Amino acid sequence: MDRDEVGVAKKKSSSRAWLKEHHDDLFVQQAKRDGYRSRACYKLLELQDKDHLMKPGMTVVDLGSAPGGWSQVSADLVGHKGRVVASDILHMDNLADVEFIQGDFTEDAVFERILQAIDGESVDLVVSDMAPNMSGVAAVDQPGSMYLVELALDMARRVLSPGGSFVTKVFQGEGFDELFRDTRDSFDKVLTRKPKASRPRSREVYLVASGFKGR
């Protein structure tokens, strides 16, 4: 077996292992029973339980929303009098009480559509569960993930109302401490959370920032 064949075999073995882990995952099974779009729903539900992020009538912006798990949870929590605006480069199937805007929110045209969806008003909460396509090379993946978090933080600063909150996935590693300090400059309180639905071996954690100081 040559080097290329060994590489292909390793990839197939890794894929099979991931599929088995995914199939056996208790949160995946629970999501199917509860009618949620993804296991990630339980991450946001735990953050909600601990930090009381959402209340009925709130306006929420969900960045990197596909396949829609966090939007689904948000819509349930803010109710019919609330508003959820979701955005992703990828397609997302329709959800009740969620307005989806497909495109890159860093582009002016897409950002304007988001502003139109919220009637040009400030919002109560910005959430982001975005992550780049992982290559397995830390020197590539970590800067890519930090860049997405910085984009989400910039978006939050542009649309949040004073006192608003921001939640984002972030991977611990190079740049994390600087990001934490940068976030604290804009919010009264910043916490790091590791929900139970976040796989133990993963470096992912969530920053929960509350009390936006305003622009």
Q: State residue 137's pLDDT score.
A: 59
Together in a domain, 23 and 86:
no
Give the type of residue at 51: D
Question: Cα 210 vs. chain centroid, distance in angstroms?
Answer: 16
Look at the chain and report how many structural domains it folds into: 2
Together in a domain, 24 and 59:
no
pLDDT-above-90 percentage for the chain: 67
- Write the CATH number for 49: 3.40.50.150
Together in a domain, 54 and 148:
yes
Distance CA 50, CA 46 (A): 6
* Residues 121-133: tens digit of each pLDDT: 999 999 999 876 6
Average confidence score pLDDT of the chain: 87
* Residues 158-199: tens digit of each pLDDT: 999 999 999 999 988 888 999 999 999 999 999 999 999 988
Distance CA 98, CA 95 (A): 5
Together in a domain, 2 and 83:
no
Model confidence, pTM: 0.85
Catalytic residues: 169
Evaluate whether 171 touches 141 at the Cβ level (below 8 Å). yes
Distance CA 130, CA 65 (A): 8
Together in a domain, 7 and 49:
no
Give every strand in the sheet of 187-193, ordered side by side: 98-102, 83-88, 59-63, 123-128, 160-171, 204-212, 187-193
What is the average per-residue pLDDT within 73-99? Answer: 96
Together in a domain, 156 and 96:
yes
Query: How many alpha carbons fall within 13 Å on the CB side of residue 31?
Result: 24
Q: Provide the domain limits for residue 198.
A: 39-212
Together in a domain, 82 and 120:
yes
Together in a domain, 3 and 70:
no
Q: State residue 3's pLDDT score.
A: 44
Together in a domain, 48 and 26:
no
* Residues 203-214: tens digit of each pLDDT: 899 999 999 999
Query: How many alpha carbons fall within 13 Å on the CB side of residue 75?
Result: 17
